[in-house]
Each structure stands twice: as C-alpha cells, then as structure tokens.
Amino acid sequence: MKGTVKIALAGEGGQGVQSVAGIMVEAANDEGREALYIPNFGVEQRGGVSLAFCQISDEKVGAPKFRDADLVIALSERAVRRTRQYVHKDTLFIYDSSMQGIEDELPRNAKKVLAIPALEIAKKELHPRVFNIIIMGAAIEATKIVEMEQAKKAVEKRLGYKFAQNPKLRELNFKALERGAELVKESLA
C-alpha cells in the first residue's frame, strides 16, 4: 500500500466534488500513473453527502475503497462528520473555513487539520463556480500527485469546449488552481 496516495473528497451535491475527483485522476492517468476513482452512489437523486475516493500510484491500485486516507477534504458540516472515519494518524484533514462552530466535530486523530478559505476566495477574488477548482489546486499541492502543468492540461481537456467559447474562463480556472495550491502552501509553511 506504500506509494499509493489515498484521497477522500466530500461535499454537498453541486459543490463539484465528483468533477474534481474525475479531473484529478485523469491528470494522473495522462501522466502514465495508475489511478482509481470511485464515487459513492446510492438511490438518492439529490441531497446527501457526495463522496469521492481517489487513489494514485505507480503500480496497480488495490481495493477501490480504503479506510485510511492520506488526505481528506470536507466541504460541508455533514461532509466533516461523514469523513472522520477515513482519518488516521497520517491524514491531512482540510476543511473550508466558512463553516462555523464546527470545531467540536473535527477529527482529533489527524496528523494535521487545516482550514482554508476556499469558498471566500472563490466568491471575492474569482467566481463561485471555480470553488471546486480551488479545492483541486489544494489537493494537488497537499499530495503532489501531479504537476501543476499536468493539472492544467486535464482541466483544459475537460473544460476546453467552454474555454473555446470564453477564453477568460481558462484564465479563471487556472488562477483558481494556483490559488488553491497557494492556500495549502501558506498554511503548511
């Protein structure tokens, strides 16, 4: 299991957790690495916590789900509660600082718990729509699963058709990736 990076991303439906997971593993795969991504899915059409399990490795990945994550990113209160079970002594736990009064719910056994103002930055500096791309930038910085350039290529691959219509979106998304990475870099420095 060594050498495999395990990431659990969780948020509310519509926060773009699954898109981010999809783009991230695609980026790793395009770099020739082994990646595995599985969304949680149930009978509900909406509502409920949206959870994505991603693993990136240099060799074939084992079981699709895991118990001990290297990185957990939780974007809502329910997501915090839901993902505590994937935290262990080596886990970096990141949550969005916009959540109020969540302190008692945070895991106590993590290696490090980090609050990042992704939502605030999305709203004030960039655009609410790129909130999830900020999260992706943060995840990449925290785990170094792919190079930033590769991440940008994967975003381009996924959203290129939108960028073609409005090139400003490209700039916005790339900026979001970089800001996300900065947030983690600053906090871990």
Partner 1 sequence: MAEKPITDEKRVFMTGNEAVAWAALAAEAEIMYGYPITPQNEIMHYWTRLAPKYKRKFLQTEDEISAGFTTCGGVLAGKRAFTATAGPGNVLMQEAMSMAEMMRIPTVVVVQQRGGPSTATVIYSQQETTLTCFGGNGEGLRLVYSTSSHQELFDYTIKAFYMAWKYRFPTFVLGDGYQAKMRESLYLYNPIEKGMPLAESYPFLGQEGRPGVEREPSHLRNTYNTEEELYQIISGYVEDYERMIPEVVEYQVSDLEDAEIVVIAHGIVSRAAREAVKVLRQEGRKVGYFRPITLRPFPTGKLREIAPKAKKLVVAESAQGQLFKLVQEALYGETVPLEPYFKPGLGITGEELVEFLQSNFGQ
Q: Cα 143 from chain centroid?
A: 10
**Directed axis angle between helix 148-165 and helix 17-30, to 10°?**
120
Q: Site mask, partner 1, residues 160-179, x = CB under 8 A?
A: --------------------
Q: Whose Cβ is closer to partner 1: residue 26's or residue 141's?
A: 26
Is residue 36 a contact residue for partner 1 (CB under 8 A)? yes
SS (H, E, C) 98-137: CCCCCHHHCCCCCCEEEEECHHHHHHHCCCHHHHHHHHHH
Of the candidate spans 21-29, 109-117, 133-141, 168-176, the one that interacts with partner 1 by CB under 8 A turns out to be 21-29
Question: Residues, the chain, total?
Answer: 189
Phi, psi of 91, rounded to the nearest 5 degrees: -85, 135
Our finding on whether 25 is near partner 1 (CB under 8 A) is yes
Rule CB under 8 A: is residue 93 a binding residue for partner 1? no
* 136 touching partner 1, by CB under 8 A: no
> Cβ distance 78 to 17 under 8 Å?
no
Among 12, 19, 31, 39, binds partner 1 (CB under 8 A): 39
User: Given the complex with partner 1, which of 35 and 184 has the nearer CB atom?
Assistant: 35
| Contact set with partner 1 (CB under 8 A) | 1, 22, 25-26, 29, 34-43, 60-68
